[in-house]
Amino acid sequence: MNSFKQTYSTLIKQQAKQLGFDYCGISKAVFLEEEAPRLEKWLRENKHGNMQYMENYFDKRLDPRLLVEGAKSVVSLLLNYYPEKKQNPKAPKISKYAYGIDYHFIIKDKCKTLLSALQEKIGEINGRCFVDSAPVMDKAWAKKSGLGWIGKNNNLITKNNGSFFFIAELIIDLELEYDTAIKDYCGSCTRCIDACPTQAIAAPYLVDGSKCISYFTIELKENIPTEYKNTFNDWVFGCDICQDVCPWNRFSKPHSEPLFNDAHDMLSWDAAQWQEITQDVFNKVFKQSALKRTGYKGIKRNLDFLSEKL
């Protein structure tokens, strides 16, 4: 039986690599005992702001066996999105993960292809792919799978390539050989905490989502509180500050996924082009982009918030 576990685990990692995933780790599908009290406290203290969906499916967030019947293993997958091209320094800033086509589509397709390949080579496997679209604690599973550690900014950090990675999971009813977590290499560093202009990193390893620039520019549907005027450092969609200052990201290398590249030359736009953007241009340029989550009205609200000085 153990030889089968090892063989299947090796096969899964080989197939993941062939599909372009940078890292693949496997952990046993169990209840996340360590994360349960932390999540409960975080929600109780309203650190999720208006993201009411975070309160839903509490039990399912902590136990993958409630998401996939007979689940035995969680396969964690990382895909690099660090770009080669930089944005025009005079433009409002867009988070690096949103430069190309919405990652949900790209990674979901790769994940489904991986599951189909395993079913073809191993036999009948029941499983589901997850890419930010269901109550799965992706960073916790990636950590358990030995792919990295969760840093003080609450991002998963890999020792070899930093933290600019998308995380996906394949939860399956197949028993496998499991990887083990690695140690935390943040040490005494507090650069991410010191650099956050809205003090969203309330303490090491504790992010107050309701104060994060990404929350204000993407998740919040109402007006941005005026108390945060002049603190956004020109971020109009998302924020990469806590990752940009992380010493481990000096090891980041450009991704090799063409669909993550800027297809409409958006990175060259200056501030005036952003301010003058129309609904039609937005719809055309960001038709398959993550920016659709905020929408045209949301982007205009964010641009206005940046341009109105106190």
Q: How far apart are CA 210 and CA 200, in angstroms?
A: 8
Distance (Å, whole) CA 31 – CA 61: 9
Q: What is the C-alpha to C-alpha distance for residues 149 and 159, in angstroms, rounded to an integer?
A: 8
What residues have CB less than 8 Å from 49, skipping those under 6 apart? 209, 210, 215, 219, 220
What DSSP state is assigned to residue 5?
Answer: H
Query: Among this protein's residues, is 22 annotated catalytic?
Result: no
- Whether 91 contacts 274, CB under 8 Å: yes
Of 212, 216, 215, nearest in space to 198 by CA: 212
Catalytic, out of 63, 132, 184, 244: 132
What are phi and psi for residue 129, nearest 5 degrees? -100, 140
Query: Alpha carbon of 76 to those of 16, 131, 143: distances in Å?
Result: 10, 10, 9
For the stretch 195-199, contacts whose Cβ atoms lie closer than 8 Å and that sit 24 or more positions apart, written own/partner, are: 195/241, 195/242, 195/244, 195/245, 196/153, 196/241, 196/242, 197/231, 197/232, 197/233, 197/241, 198/228, 198/231, 198/232
Phi and psi of 206, rounded to 5°? Answer: -130, 105
Active-site residue numbers? 132
